[in-house]
A and B are shown apart, each in its own frame.
Chain A
Amino acid sequence: MPSPDSIPGSPPCILEDMPPPPADLPLIVDFDKVAKTYDHGTPKAFTSIRDVSFQVEDRPDIGEFVGILGPSGCGKSTVLRLIAGLAPQFPHTTGSVRINGQPVTGPGPDRGFVFQDYSNFPHRTVIDNVAFGLECAHVAEKERRTKAMEWIQKVGLDPLKDGLKYPHQLSGGMNQRVAIARTLIMEPKIILMDEPFGALDPTTRQSMQDLLVKLWRELEATVFFVTHDIAEAVYLGDRVYIFSPSPGTIRHQLRVSPPDRPARQMQAERGFQDSVQGVRAILEKLELEKTAAPTT
């Protein structure tokens, strides 16, 4: 892998097929030929994903960032919800899903989830929203308050000024910061994000991307990030999975350059934009497939 500074001017970005995982590392997420069919065996039967296989290995002291792209309705969210153990996508129909070598039995705080619509609890202040998970884990009031304040600070909000506000008093970007703090305070080893910045304007989006990169480095968690924004996936991801149209399956697993520079800077670089173009070409070909051959 050439170092980014080896070529002066525009640093290159990698865009290559994923090499197979090294056999000696344990797998943190292991999907093997996973399919999900609703109303199996009835005329209403609908297959959301089929034959989805991928492995993310557990590297010491580093978490992988996986961007997931694909045409709308291809089952990207289904994969996330299968990892989280959320119904009705969970449980899957065939194949096997293993997290740290164990099958998923249901949702838990070890797999954090950030949703597009923030879903902060409207009846709780920012502090109480951020501390919700600790409250569920029976952490003492004083400790969870201190920790919540700490995390509110970390996501770039003012613990004293914003801490006592209710979600309806915050902007979309601030609400998503609260949702991120609420998820990360549990220090999950896997973080699932379903178009978390989809409702934000481009500027807010880039600063959220930088924030996310900073916090993710600190937590060393494995992140799965579903998005419609190709640049976002290429920027944030160590790897990018590209799904086929419904019923979705992973068509390409690509390795891309990690986000080692601020979003605004890196996304303006020539090499980065070439990578984005490469991914866009693949996606456009898939979209054509969708219109040419309707699903059977």
Chain B
Amino acid sequence: MAGWQQWLARVRTIRDLPSQLESRLFGAASIALGFLAWHWLTMPWGDGNRILSATLLPSLPDTLASFRSLWFDRALTLSVLASLGRVLGGFLLTAAIGIPLGLIAGSYLRVNAFLKPLSIFGRNVPLAALIPLTLIWFGLGELQKVMFIFLATVGFVLFDTTNAVQAVPDRFLDTAYTLGAHRTPGKGIRRAALFGLVYALIFSFGLFLLQNHNEDSASLIQEMTQSPFWWHAAIGFLLGSALWFPIQSHQLLRKVLLPLALPDIINNLRLIFGVAFGYIMLAEVIDAKRGLGFIITQSQRVGPREHIYLCLIIISLLAYGIDQSIRSLQRKFFPYLKNAES
């Protein structure tokens, strides 16, 4: 009795820290309660009537049973991979442009003043409006979906990265300066060229993969030798080296600002990735052959509706899994972070 009362007193205490087991139990209780409510609302009561009809909310057993058809008939795995691939592709582009640009803007405040209108615009542009626009600009293929994710997230990443760099305390800059941190243009050019090469690869092969091609392997190679492929590579090289030269050519950016801001940058990327994963459904509603968004629209049109609910559960599980794996990577790579320890 006394133990029980003590526990209640702790529950009533503001900011009292629960044990790990307790936290898990409370989390599990929330999930169980959700399913219980679902079950009650859809189970047949005495005379066979349900509180909510099957069209409004399918019953829990029916929904779970439809997993088989979702997995086999609708090729769930392929769709999950398609959705993930699109988000990752768009996100790669966002990171490749937003992070270096944010590093430069966070260090050189006039660049920040110059880019600010862009990032304000990028963060406030209505997402739904981007869909028709990307359809006009990039057509109906995969490129449109990747570019949609890019345009929807790049403003946020630019803004967050700039802030992360600006949040690095001045005393670290002072320390580095008094220890002799200086500009190293020669090294900067060599390293920027390396970054340029990576960008060239991403741009040329990335764009190549996103376009529709014949299956014939001979014509694939032929296409690769054509001029657009090399143009994309050249643009990628120029962009990559131009973005990374200012960062690689100053020891203060390379050795102090970048590594000190990096944990924050990665953390923000993790948060925005979750949001981007939600956005992709929007783009997949229109002309997609695969993807979780496609399954949801299909299920709404031709049924079974159970698949919609299953997809929602799968999406949140997937997002949670990705989030947790990025977290564990953060702990591994930034062992000195206090918030990564807990």
Residues of A contacting B180 in the complex (Cβ-Cβ under 8 angstroms): 108-109, 133, 136-137, 186
258-294 of chain B: CB within 8 A of chain A: 259-260, 262
19 A-B interface contacts by CB (under 8 A): A107-B177, A107-B178, A108-B180, A115-B175, A117-B171, A119-B175, A122-B260, A123-B260, A123-B334, A135-B255, A136-B182, A136-B251, A136-B255, A166-B336, A167-B336, A168-B336, A182-B175, A183-B179, A186-B179
Are the C-beta atoms of B182 and A111 separated by less than 8 Å? no
Q: How many residues of A contact B (CB 8 A)?
A: 27
- How many inter-chain contacts with C-beta < 8 Å in the A-B complex? 68
Q: How far is the CA of A112 from the CA of B182 in the complex (A)?
A: 15
CB distance from A7 to the nearest CB of B (A): 42
B residues near A (Cβ < 8 Å) are 169, 171-172, 174-182, 251, 255-256, 259-260, 262, 334-338
Tell me whether A31 is interfacial, beta carbon within 8 Å: no
Interface string of A130-170 (1 = CB under 8 A from B): 00110111000000000000000000000000000011100
Query: Chain A residues with Cβ under 8 A from B334's Cβ?
Result: 123
Smallest Cβ-Cβ distance to A123: which chain B residue: B259
Q: Is A182 within 8 A of B336, CB to CB?
A: no
Q: Given the complex of chains A and B, what is the CA–CA distance between A167 and B338 in angstroms?
A: 12
Tell whether A65 is near chain B: CB-to-CB under 8 Å: no
Tell me the complex Cα distance, A107–B182, Å: 10
CA distance A113 to B178 in the complex (A): 6
Chain A residues whose CB sits within 8 angstroms of the CB of B171 once the complex forms? 115, 117, 119
**Could you say which of A86, A133, A135, A182 contacts B174, with CB atoms under 8 Å apart?**
A86
Closest residue of chain A to B258 (Cβ to Cβ) is A123
Chain B residues with Cβ under 8 A from A117's Cβ? 171
Which of A112, A117, A122 has the most B CB atoms < 10 Å from its CB?
A: A122
A179 (CB) vs chain B CBs: closest residue: B175
The residue from B172, B178, B181, B337 contacting A111, defined by CB atoms under 8 A apart: B178
For the complex of A and B, list the 5 residue pairs with the smallest distance between their C-beta atoms, beginning with the closest. Answer: A109-B180, A133-B179, A107-B177, A113-B178, A119-B171
Expressed in whole angstroms, the minimum distance between the Cβ of A63 and any Cβ of chain B is 18
A136 to B180, CA, bound (A): 6
**A113→B172 CA distance, assembly (Å):** 12
- Docked complex Cα distance between A112 and B171 (Å): 14
A54 at the interface (CB under 8 A from B): no
Chain A proximity of B231: nearest CB distance (Å): 38
How many angstroms from the CA of A132 to the CA of B259 in the assembled complex? 14
* A216 contacts B by Cβ under 8 Å: no
Contact A112 B178 (CB under 8 A): yes
B191 to chain A, nearest CB (A): 14
B335 touching A166, Cβ below 8 Å: yes
Q: Is the CB of A86 within 8 A of B335?
A: no
Known: A122-B336, A123-B334, A123-B336. A86 touches B178 (CB 8 A): yes
1/0 per residue, CB under 8 A from B, across A101-132: the answer is: 00000111101110101010111000000001
- Complex Cα distance A64/B336, Å? 38
